[in-house]
Amino acid sequence: MNLPPTALIIGASSGIGAALAREFARNGLRLALVARRKDLLEKLAQELSAVETRCYAHDVAEYDEAPVLWQQILQDFGRVDIVVYNAGVLLPVGPEEYDFGADKRMVEINLLGAMAWLNPVALTFGRTGRGHIVGISSVAGDRGRVGAPGYNTTKAALSTFLEALRNRLTKKGVHVLTVKPGFVQTDMLKNAPKTFWVISPEQAAQDIVKAIHRRAQVAYTPERWGLLMNVIRHIPSFLFRRLKI
């Protein structure tokens, strides 16, 4: 009979990644967990010992490691069905601050890391004609806001990258999902100034699994962010820059 399905989560040690691991485990998936902090991964793996789980310590900014580790995971599991790129950082900058170092780091983790991982994944999934690629972007990528120019840029670029992958791979049978969470109760939220509609990582994980099942292209979590961002995206620029959003 077939091998049980497998999910790979890059950025699995905490937040949405860890919650997704728990949700996938509840659905009986085997898990490949990737993150920098191996101690946290191993703790999570112990918690999820009912399913086959393997941990891989890796810094997503070590781009050359990504295709090698991807192959290692394929060798270890024999098949991978879902790949979630969840690694991301939000480095706070003040309203008058322009910090190239912070911006560069966010580009490295949020965007280049995703490209380093999802390119080999896309190549393999495209050849095998199946698989789900899930990128955790953000509502922050829908407009350039005064509070977080660098972060907004990385998430906008990630959303565009995922859209391009989708346009390449859908006809080959591969599903690409862009997830745009609003405010989720994670470590990253500590750096967010004003928050509302805050949800738990568990709720976000449940929404993401539902979106995978219905093969959605873009999923806002919670869903009402979709309506709000639809309005915000259509505010003309000359008005948007006057708003304190």
Partner 1 sequence: MSVSQLPLERLDKVENYGHSRHTVAYVYRPNQVAQIEEVFALARRAGLSVALRGAGRSYGDAATNSGQVVLDLQRMNRILNWNPATGVIKVEPGVTIAQIWQHVLEDGYWPPVTSGTMFPTIGGALAHNIHGKNNTKAGTLGEHVLEFTALLPNGEQVTCTPTENSELFYALISTAGLLGVFTSVTLKLKKLHTGLVDVHAWAMTHLGEMMRDLDERKHEFDYIVGWVDTLDHNGRGQIHGANYVHDAPNAAETLRLDKQVLPDTFFGLVPKSTLWMFMTPFMNNVGTRLINTAKYVFSATLEQRKIYRQSLVEFNYLLDYVPNWEKSYGRSGLIQYQTFIPLATATDAYLEMLRLAQRRGMPPFLGVTKRHRPDRFLFTHAVDGYSFAMDFKVTNAARLQKLCEEMSDIALEAGGRFYFAKDSTLTPGRARRYLGEETLAKFQALKAQCDPENLLQSDLYRRLLV
98 flagged as catalytic? no
Q: Which of 42, 52, 59, 76 is the binder for partner 1 (CB under 8 A)? A: 76
Measured from the CB of residue 32, what is the shortest distance to partner 1 in angstroms?
Answer: 12
Options 56, 85, 151, 220, the catalytic residue: 151
Query: Using the rule CB under 8 A, is 146 a contact of partner 1?
Result: no
- For the chain, the straight-line distance linking the first and the last C-alpha, in angstroms and rounded, comes to 54
Amino acid at 103: D
26, two tokens = 């509840």
- State whether residue 6 is helix, strand or coil: strand
Query: Using the rule CB under 8 A, is 2 a contact of partner 1?
Result: yes
Q: Which of 22, 36, 63, 74 is the binder for partner 1 (CB under 8 A)? A: 74
8: left (phi over 0), alpha (psi -120 to 50) or beta: beta
Spatial contact of 174 and 121, defined as CB atoms under 8 Å apart: no
Name which of residues 31 to 60 contact partner 1 (CB under 8 A). 56, 58
Q: Pick the closer one to partner 1 by CB: 79 or 105.
A: 79
Which residue stretch of 87-95, 109-117, 120-128, 176-184 sits at the interface with partner 1 (rule: CB under 8 A)?
120-128
d(CA 190, CA 90): 9
Q: Which residue has the tokens 């009986």?
A: 28
Q: Which of 22, 79, 145, 210 is the binder for partner 1 (CB under 8 A)? A: 79
Which residue stretch of 38-46, 65-73, 100-108, 133-141 sits at the interface with partner 1 (rule: CB under 8 A)?
65-73
Query: Using the rule CB under 8 A, is 123 a contact of partner 1?
Result: yes
Q: Which of 22, 36, 38, 72 is the binder for partner 1 (CB under 8 A)? A: 72
Q: Which of 50, 96, 101, 127 is the binder for partner 1 (CB under 8 A)? A: 127
Write phi, then psi, for 243 (nearest 5 degrees).
-85, 150
Q: Which residue has the tokens 């869903």?
A: 223
Query: Using the rule CB under 8 A, is 77 a contact of partner 1?
Result: yes
Spatial contact of 197 and 222, defined as CB atoms under 8 Å apart: yes
Which residue stretch of 76-84, 147-155, 218-226, 227-235 sits at the interface with partner 1 (rule: CB under 8 A)?
76-84
d(CA 145, CA 142): 9
d(CA 65, CA 180): 27
Angle, CA of 157, 178 and 95, to the nearest 5°: 45
Query: What is the contact surface with partner 1 in residues (CB under 8 A)?
Result: 1-3, 56, 58, 65, 67-72, 74-80, 120, 123-124, 127-130
Q: Could you list the active site residues?
A: 151
